[in-house]
Structure 1
Amino acid sequence: MRGRTRKAEESEVDLTPMLDIVFILLIFFIVTATFIKENAIDLTPPPPAPPDQPVNPVPTILIRITEDSMVRVDGRLSDIGSVRAAIERRIAEDPESAVLVQAHPLARNSLVIMIVDQARSAGVEGVGFTVDATE
């Protein structure tokens, strides 16, 4: 009988099922993790111009958004529907014009995005952003 009790004392826990579960969970989390490249607005500034070359300023279409959602295109009061027409008119006059959106910190973000969409639908590729410092 002593032999039987010794075998019962020498029993070990089999860790193989636990390792299988750990590897299955690892594979599950790797497979379910989604790596999607999101499209976003590129906010990287352009490289500085070399100091030996003269800087020629690009004509700018300034779109200012106030804190109470008033939109001004080059100083003229405008609504969201006529922003695209105003940009197209300025681009027709000077095709090298750039668009600069100057938004108040309390302005609605949705309005800023709608104006950027209007500028891009008017054919402007580069749209710059700045914050209105006058509060």
Structure 2
Amino acid sequence: MASSMGDDDNGINEINVTPMVDVMLVLLIIFMVTANYMTSQSIDMKLPKASTGQSNNADVKNLGFSIDKNSKLFLDGQPVNYADLAPLLAEKKAQKPDISALISADVKTPHGEVVKLIDFIRKNGITNFAINVEVEE
């Protein structure tokens, strides 16, 4: 009786990469869907150009106001209206008294909308603000 006990040379000696490929494909799909969602949340805006524009200091935490070409107001990318904005500005001002506002307005936004926003944030105690432009070369 010549049977081999424990010497099974017919076993699989390779690593099965199928589960790893499955995981990588799932991660790729999640990344693609997330990237698509993030770009759809951005505000369609064309900034006015100015030759004297300066880059913003990335270390400074600003309130990011945006007004699109349809005069819709956004705060840090989220739609907001003036009625909800006053308590929010008071809270932000209490957290950081020297907070400033960065205002981005589409080139087709009526001038009156920008003035209205500046007046509103100044009435709510935020006196430091800048207007975002695209720097001409």
- Please report the TM-score for the alignment, with normalisation by the length of structure 2: 0.51
Residue identity matched to 1:79:
N
Which residue does 1:105 correspond to in 2?
A: 107
* Identical aligned residues as a percent: 17
Distance (whole Å) between structure 2 residues aligned to residue 79 and residue 56 of structure 1 = 26
Name stretches of at least 5 consecutive residues in structure 2 with no aligned partner: 1-51
- Compute the displacement of 1:59 (Å): 1.3
Name stretches of at least 5 consecutive residues in structure 1 with no aligned partner: 1-44, 46-54
Which residue does 1:125 correspond to in 2?
A: 127
1:103 to 1:88, Cα distance in 2 relative to 1, 3 A: same
Q: Residues 68 and 107 of structure 1 are in contact (CA less than 8 Å); yes or no, is this contact kept in structure 2?
A: yes
Residue by residue over 1:84-105, the C-alpha shift from the partner in whole angstroms, topping out at 9 and shown as x without a partner, is 3322221122222111110000
Which residue does 1:90 correspond to in 2?
A: 92
Correspondences of 1:28-67 after superposition (within 5 Å): 57-67=59-69
Q: Residues 60 and 98 of structure 1 are in contact (CA less than 8 Å); yes or no, is this contact kept in structure 2?
A: yes
Which residue does 1:33 correspond to in 2?
A: none
Q: Residues 99 and 128 of structure 2 are in contact (CA less than 8 Å); yes or no, is this contact kept in structure 1?
A: no
Distance (whole Å) between structure 2 residues aligned to residue 56 and residue 69 of structure 1 = 26
Local SS of the residue matching 2:94? helix
Equivalent pairs, count: 81
- By relative contact order (CA 8 Å, sep 6+), the higher-ranking structure is 2
- Please report the TM-score for the alignment, with normalisation by the length of structure 1: 0.52
Aligned-residue RMSD, C-alpha: 2.7
Distance (whole Å) between structure 2 residues aligned to residue 72 and residue 108 of structure 1 = 16
Structure 1 residue aligned with 2:71, among 69, 72, 92? 69
Distance (whole Å) between structure 1 residues aligned to residue 114 and residue 82 of structure 2 = 10
Residue by residue over 1:63-106, the C-alpha shift from the partner in whole angstroms, topping out at 9 and shown as x without a partner, is 00000111001122112333333222211222221111100000
